[in-house]
Amino acid sequence: MVLNYPGGKRFKVKEDHERIHRFHPNYGNRGMTLEEDLNATNEYYREHGIAVIHKKPTPIQIVRVDYPKRSAAVIKEAYFKQTSTTDYNGVYRGKYIDFEAKETQSTTSFPLKNFHEHQIQHMKQVIEHGGICFVILRFSSLDEVYLLDASHLLIFWERQQSGGRKSMTKQEIERYGHYISLGYQPRIDYIKVVESIYF
């Protein structure tokens, strides 16, 4: 299948699939990606009446479909309708929550190239309107997860824009972020951190 970004730039599905689904050593839940862990966590929150958080669907425009059999259709070409904002949004205790989730194999820093200008602008708008906005960062090879308030990410982004370093050091994330210990159910209990820092 061929996917294209707005403007026609090609999205390399095979490369991105391999990058996203690369095996991550994970002793409690071997092979799970950050997205899978967060989706399971959000399902747990909904089922237990804790919060209503969903992964935002990525809208696509289907251009070409093949019908090899009457009972099956295969999408051959599609375009992203618009640039995405952040990965997740919803409501917790009457407050709007919006966050992005990213992983890195690095053990010493988190590259800012993982974020895009339109995502940064979206986070600024959420903060300006009083929403709770943050990023969840996983150091995959270390199996460590942190919640970093978006206001800190914006400072690191501005530093990069002014010619500074193009990443956040792990020490900076440890200093300004909040470590999320991994569990079984929920897997990544980020609401516990949200409760402690926003309420």
Residue stretches of the annotated binding site for Mg(2+): 85, 87, 100, 119
How many other C-beta atoms lie within 10 A of the C-beta of residue 141? 13
Sign of the C-alpha dihedral, residues 98, 101, 107, 113? negative
Question: Residue 69 forms beta bridges with which residues?
Answer: 72
Q: In terms of Cα–Cα distance, which of 37, 41, 43 is closest to 144? A: 37
- Rounded CA Rg of the chain: 18
Cα 170 versus chain centre, distance: 18
DSSP designation for 183:
-
**E strand or H helix at 49, and its extent?**
none
As a whole number of angstroms, the distance between CA 198 and CA 106 comes to 29
Binding site listing? 85, 87, 100, 119
**E strand or H helix at 115, and its extent?**
none
**Burial of 172 per CB tally in 10 Å (0-12, 13-18, 19+):** middle
As a whole number of angstroms, the distance between CA 183 and CA 169 comes to 25
